[in-house]
Amino acid sequence: MSKFMNNLLLKYTGDLRNYGVLKNFTHKSVFQNYTCGDKVKIYLKINKGIINKISYETESCLICQASCSILSEYLKNKKLSNALINIELFINFILKKKKCLNGKWNKFKFLFNKNYFNRKNCLLVPFNAIIKLK
């Protein structure tokens, strides 16, 4: 694993965005990956179908923590229905069932490095937590 990749991962995990319990949340989802043990709780405040606020708590590895942080920033002020569609497309892309999303997910690009990609289950934990909201 390159020093650059380690530094980038540490950058994201050293400055986690939206970490903690959201007060007055309207939706909560918990997902645990039984393969690796990562567990994520996601809290959302949704008004008129729009994700106004998001936060999360996690007991997980650095890859999952970085994924939670980046995803939480991506989901802010998005329509939940659109977010769910895009998340399903992203999961299918990761699992190599669908085509590339053409840059919508650039902030996750560093996690596609071959040294991290074998831990794709860790990357997908927060995505699976959001999908559970359906």
Residue 40: partners with Cβ closer than 8 Å, 6 or more residues away: 30, 31, 32, 56, 57, 58, 60, 64, 68, 125, 126, 129
Tell me the pTM.
0.83
pLDDT in the model for residue 116: 56
Tens digit of pLDDT for each residue in 89-109? 888 877 765 445 556 666 666
For the cut 90, the answer to whether the pLDDT of residue 31 exceeds it is: yes
- Extract the tokens encoding 121: 């289950």
CATH code that applies to domain 3-131: 3.90.1010.10
How many residues comprise the chain? 134
Tens digit of pLDDT for each residue in 38-73? 999 999 999 999 999 999 999 998 888 988 998 999
In the chain, domain spans: 3-131
